[in-house]
Amino acid sequence: MTKRQLEDSLRKQTRNFIEDSVQAPNERVTEESIEESIEKKRNELIKVGTSNGLHSKKAVEVSQQLDQLLNKYDRLLKKKITK
């Protein structure tokens, strides 16, 4: 997978998570801040993937961290929709 393909794929994932705010322990996290976290993690994955390879241990770890952020955001979106 090329860097461009990786970027496009990750952008598609992020676009699927669009509205909501999330709550962290003792503070309210805005939609903007969670999206920033996702964007930072995506950029980290791109850097690690291009320098170490997408199958490297570090790339897999960062990918899993990105997945956790996206899953958390998705759960919160679903929770908001059902309210």
Among 19, 54, 14, 21, smallest CA distance to 38 is for 14
CA 21 vs CA 12, 57, 58, 75, 78: distances in Å = 20, 32, 29, 11, 12
pLDDT given for residue 71 in this prediction: 86
The total of structural domains in the chain comes to: 1
Among 71, 46, 72, smallest CA distance to 59 is for 46
**Which residue stretches of the chain have pLDDT < 70?**
10-32, 83
Domain with 15 in it: 3-82
pLDDT given for residue 52 in this prediction: 96
pLDDT given for residue 12 in this prediction: 66
CATH of the domain at 7: 4.10.280
pLDDT given for residue 15 in this prediction: 56
pLDDT given for residue 40 in this prediction: 95
